């Protein structure tokens, strides 16, 4: 990764780069707002819901940004990531609520936001040049390379991603909700299953409420507000 190119292009940013780090989430904790932490490899990459994030050396973008907490931040980050991918590669991503970035039915990027000492640490992982995944992920994950048939320079993606994060996180809440619902086939009219503590809920999505939570309408007509993810297209398995 050509970090000096990134630093030249974004001179106002503190950009830290680790060849190997446990997790950029930990490395970004405590840095000033606006800082960016990147890694070539993570040995303990963190995913949502306590899952690990597969962080193969040299193949992906492993990035944490220090941001101000804001309403709908995770939705805005998903929009930014999809926008950056489309602008560099031309690939049109879907957004699986709340913030899985999908190509077809497979996940190409994920977002994890943690609140630490009053800051929002926004972790973005993008599968860029992976040619394969571990067996447990291969049915669920893809990379830009697998999807488009060519490799992509990670610097180009980062040079699109960082301004896109700035742009989408500045939007007000109604605009974020509107854009998300336009960009996501999961927001409304999609039959889904949602893993919950007491079992699996199945129904059809019926939009987002003003806080960005997903409404799922069961077949008996009752609505449930989903606040914590775990959404899958009905019939799909589980993975990264």
Contact residues toward ligand BTN (CB under 6 A) are 23-25, 42, 45-48, 51, 53, 62-64, 100, 110-112, 123-125
Q: Residue 175 Cβ, how far from ligand BTN at the closest point, in Å?
A: 24
**CA-based nearest residue to 90, from 38, 133, 150:** 150
Cβ-based nearer residue to ligand BTN, 112 or 165: 112
Residue nearest to ligand BTN (CB): 110
In whole angstroms, the minimum distance from the beta carbon of 1 to ligand BTN comes to 14
Q: How far is the CB of 219 from ligand BTN (least distance, A)?
A: 29
What's the min distance (Å) between Cβ of 78 and ligand BTN? 10
Residue placing its CB nearer to ligand BTN in the complex, 153 or 239: 239
In whole angstroms, give the CA distance from residue 105 to residue 33: 34
Return the number of the residue (5 or 26) whose C-beta is nearest ligand BTN. Answer: 26
Contact of 60 with 130, CB cutoff 8 Å = yes
Q: How far apart are CA 71 and CA 174, in angstroms?
A: 11
Kindly state the smallest distance separating residue 124's Cβ from ligand BTN, in Å.
Answer: 6
Give the Cα separation of 213 and 139 in Å (integer).
27
- Give the DSSP per-residue string, 212-236: SPEEEE-TTS-EEEE-S--EEETT-
Cα gap 218→206, rounded to integer Å: 10
Q: Toward ligand BTN, which CB reaches closer, 60 or 203?
A: 60
CA distances from 143 to 12, 71, 102, 176 (A): 30, 29, 10, 26
124 vs 176, beta carbon nearer ligand BTN: 124
Is residue 147 within 8 Å of residue 160, measured between CB atoms? no
Q: Please report, in angstroms and rounded to a whole number, the separation of the first and last CA atoms in the chain.
A: 24
- Residue 91 vs 206, nearer CB to ligand BTN: 91
Residue 6 parent element (H or E): helix 3-9
**Least gap, CB of 218 to ligand BTN (angstroms):** 26
Residue placing its CB nearer to ligand BTN in the complex, 24 or 89: 24
CB of 61 to ligand BTN, least distance (A): 8
Q: Is the dihedral of CA 186, 189, 190, 191 positive or negative?
A: positive
């Amino acid at each position: 990764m050509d970090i000096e190119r990134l630093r030249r292009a974004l001179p106002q940013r503190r950009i830290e780069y680790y060849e190997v780090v446990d997790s950029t989430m930990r490395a970004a904790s405590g840095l000033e707002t606006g800082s960016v932490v990147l890694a070539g490899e993570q040995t303990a990459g963190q995913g949502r819901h306590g899952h690990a994030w597969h962080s193969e050396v040299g193949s992906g973008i492993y990035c944490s940004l220090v941001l101000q907490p804001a309403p709908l931040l995770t939705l805005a980050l998903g929009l930014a990531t999809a926008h950056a991918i489309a602008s560099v590669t031309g690939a049109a991503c879907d957004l699986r609520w709340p913030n899985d970035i999908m190509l077809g039915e497979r996940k190409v990027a994920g977002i994890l936001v943690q609140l630490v000492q009053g800051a929002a640490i926004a972790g973005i992982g993008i599968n860029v040049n992976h040619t394969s995944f571990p067996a447990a992920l291969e049915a669920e994950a893809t990379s830009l390379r697998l999807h488009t048939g060519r490799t992509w320079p990670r610097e180009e993606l980062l040079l699109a991603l960082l301004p896109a994060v700035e742009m989408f996180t500045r939007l007000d809440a109604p605009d974020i909700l509107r854009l998300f619902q336009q960009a996501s086939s999961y927001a409304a009219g999609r039959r889904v299953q949602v893993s919950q503590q007491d079992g699996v809920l199945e129904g059809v999505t019926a939009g987002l409420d003003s806080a960005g939570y997903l409404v799922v309408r069961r077949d008996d007509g009752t609505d449930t507000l989903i606040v914590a993810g775990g959404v899958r297209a009905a019939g799909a398995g589980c993975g990264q």
